[in-house]
Amino acid sequence: MTDLQRFVAAEIERPVSREIAEAGRAVAARLGGCAVLFYGSVLRTGDLDGVLDFYVLRGDEARPGVVAACLWPDVSYHEVAVNGRTIRAKVASMQLATFARAVRGDMLDTTIWARFVQPVALIWADNAATRQRVAAAICDAAVTAAGFAALHGPRRGAAGDFWRALFRATYRTELRVEAPGREDQILSYDRRRYDELLPLAWTAGGLAFAGDGTRLAPCPTEAQLRALARSWMPSEATGKWLNLARLAKAAFTFEGAARYALWKVERHTGLRIPLTPFRERHPILAAPGVLCRVWRRSAAQ
């Protein structure tokens, strides 16, 4: 086992609360998943009043439709009753085989490896073989991200300098606007983790580097640099369009969108709006009426 594999194995096996574990298994059963990854802010805080972020991976026997096969992941919202408490989760799902290709950087997408180079827990897998495949995929995400960090980062710098350069590059590629300093916020949650991870990932990926313990200097070969640049350019050219297509898909296929939106409205405004059959079936058509009620309440206050 390599040092990177040991690092990832220790991280993904982190313990989670019983409520989170049971919610993950329940969502996996609903979606036909073979593994559940837990990530995001609640992984860090443990706040069960928030919305959990799950990634449900499906087995190779799953056959997604044409749209889902091209514009993954599928996105849905779930509520699970555990010990008399409602656990809420926003869930992305896709085939494990597709996930494995995405984290290797074999596809145009940058979001998967950029997301899963950040902390994650594997809270359920259907068997040991699946657990090994998922662990290997998380290692691949780290190697892919570290390679692009060398491409976009300084010639020499602290580990954090390379991670900042990487995250800024992915934000420019994707169709999303992050607040200034978002990359610093990500690193601030666990700087030591990212300091340790970068050299491990470079070593696992066969990318040479020099360093004195605090400052690193990647030494990629010309062939490695060309390969990284060739891999990055298509993603940079198509990333925004790909994310726009995914947003359009999600607008019409986000299962549980109305339930999720109404919960968010109540949480942030205190206004409880009932979930009617019309709002459940047609969240986009119902949205103007909901927004009007929120606006009227705000104006009255």
> What is the per-residue DSSP string for 41-99?
HHHHH--TTSEEEEEEEEPTT----HHHHHSPPEEEEEEEEETTEEEEEEEEEEEHHHH
pLDDT at 3: 98
Question: What percentage of residues in the chain have a pLDDT greater than 70?
Answer: 81
* Inter-residue contact 62 to 145 (CB < 8 Å): no
Q: Provide the whole-model pTM.
A: 0.85
Question: What percentage of residues in the chain have a pLDDT greater than 90?
Answer: 66
Whole-angstrom distance, CA of residue 216 vs CA of residue 250 = 41
Same domain, 123 and 226: yes
Same domain, 219 and 279: no
CATH number of domain containing 145: 3.30.460.10
Q: Does 176 have pLDDT greater than 70?
A: no
Same domain, 174 and 210: yes
Same domain, 183 and 264: no
For residue 70, how many other CB atoms are within 10 A of its CB?
12
Q: How confident is the model at residue 88 (pLDDT cuts 50, 70, 90)?
A: very high
Q: Does 268 have pLDDT greater than 60?
A: no
Same domain, 262 and 251: no
pLDDT at 190: 95
Same domain, 142 and 284: no
pLDDT at 181: 84
Same domain, 171 and 227: yes
Domain count, the chain: 2
Residue-averaged pLDDT of the chain: 88
Same domain, 15 and 128: yes
Same domain, 113 and 200: yes
What is the extent of the structural domain holding 273?
258-300
Chain-centre distance for alpha carbon 294: 30
Model confidence pLDDT, tens digit, residues 210-242: 988 789 999 999 999 999 999 999 998 888 888
Same domain, 165 and 88: yes
Whole-angstrom distance, CA of residue 120 vs CA of residue 55 = 10
User: Which of residues 81 and 272 earns the better pLDDT score?
Assistant: 81
Q: Does 2 have pLDDT greater than 90?
A: yes
Model confidence pLDDT, tens digit, residues 37-68: 999 999 999 999 999 999 999 998 766 665 56
Same domain, 248 and 264: no
Overall average pLDDT of the 95-107 stretch: 95
Task: State the residue for tokens 């340790």.
Answer: 196
Chain-centre distance for alpha carbon 285: 29
Same domain, 97 and 215: yes
pLDDT at 240: 81
